[in-house]
Amino acid sequence: MTTGTQMTEPEIRHLRVGDERSFREAVAEAAAEVPPWPFAFGWSDGMSFSEYVERVSAWERGESLPEGFVPAGYYVVVVGGEIAGRLSVRFGLNDYLAEIGGHIGYAVRTAYRGRGYATAMLREALGICAGRGMTRVLVTCHADNAGSRKVIERCGGVYERSTPDPDGRAEMRRYWVTTG
Would you say 53 or 157 has its CB closer to ligand COA? Answer: 157
Amino acid type, 1: M
The correct pick among 55, 87, 91, 119 for binding ligand COA (CB under 6 A) is: 119
Q: How far is the CB of 55 from ligand COA (least distance, A)?
A: 22
Q: Are 42 and 83 in contact (CB under 8 A)?
A: no
Residues of span 142-161 touching ligand COA by CB under 6 A: 145-148, 150-151
Backbone angles phi, psi at 134, to 5 degrees: -90, 115
Q: Are 58 and 113 in contact (CB under 8 A)?
A: no
Displacement of CA 138 from its chain's centroid (Å): 13
Total residue length of the chain? 180
Residue 32 engages ligand COA in binding (rule: CB under 6 A): no
Residue 88 engages ligand COA in binding (rule: CB under 6 A): no
Residue 90 engages ligand COA in binding (rule: CB under 6 A): no
- 141: how many CB neighbours lie within 10 A of its CB? 23
Q: How far is the CB of 127 from ligand COA (least distance, A)?
A: 16
Residue 2 engages ligand COA in binding (rule: CB under 6 A): yes
Would you say 2 or 67 has its CB closer to ligand COA? Answer: 2
Would you say 15 or 151 has its CB closer to ligand COA? Answer: 151
The correct pick among 23, 39, 75, 106 for binding ligand COA (CB under 6 A) is: 106
Backbone angles phi, psi at 49, to 5 degrees: -65, -40
Alpha-carbon distance of 126 to 121, in angstroms, equals 9
Residue 114 engages ligand COA in binding (rule: CB under 6 A): yes
Would you say 71 or 114 has its CB closer to ligand COA? Answer: 114
Which residue intervals of the chain are DSSP H helices? 20-32, 49-60, 95-96, 117-131, 146-154
What residue ranges bind ligand COA (CB under 6 A)?
1-2, 37, 106-108, 113-119, 141, 145-148, 150-151
